[in-house]
Amino acid sequence: MKFLKKWDLYIPEYISVKTLILRSINKKLPSNVTTFNEIPNESEYYKTERNEDFMIFKNSDLVIFQSLFQAKLFKKYNNDIFVDGTFYIAPKFSQQVFITRTYVKELNSFYTTSYAILRNKKQKTYKMLFNKLKQNSNNNIITEPKNVHCDFEKGISKAVKKIFPNINIKYCIWHYKIY
């Protein structure tokens, strides 16, 4: 834990956050799953504490998790959507865990609006992901997001443009240094 004296706040180190995410994912998926096809369509793992369905979509390339609350956040606070994939916490049978977030100005905080497990980094997979998030946020009735913040991966930006044609793509400078 890191202590930020200025704000009198303890922040967990990156490694401990990564460990928490890994533990959480490992708890959510049955331990014997080794391929996308083995992920069950229904499970106690896909329910929120309010007994609401949490897995909103599954096919052979993609599994999307989004609670009702997260869908409402995605719909209401969609001026800026932040997206990124991580490879370090992805299950062995997949390529990445992809996360969408939004900023809630009133609370001065970012909130995760979905988690997805992707088998690949193809444009069609990202397109399916954003299309399903759009559908789930209110039966396709959504104010078009103004901006998406992402890395320089062309598959993401092209897919976002197809689903939200009027959106602005804002590329992350930190990712620019990596590529």
Distances (CA, A) of 114 to 3, 21, 34, 56, 76: 29, 14, 22, 10, 14
User: Which of 75, 67, 97 minimizes the C-alpha distance to 84?
Assistant: 97
On whether the CB atoms of residues 58 and 42 are closer than 8 A, the answer is: no
At 86-143, the pLDDT tens digits run 888 888 889 999 999 998 888 788 889 999 999 999 999 999 999 999 988 876 556 6
| pTM metric for this prediction | 0.78
CB atoms under 10 Å from CB of 28, counted, come to: 16
CATH of 54-178 given 2.130.10, 1.10.287, 3.40.710, 3.30.420 = 3.30.420
Domain regions of the chain by residue span: 1-29, 54-178
pLDDT at residue 165 tops 80:
yes
Q: What is the pLDDT of residue 22?
A: 63
Residues ≥6 apart with Cβ < 8 Å to 166: 144
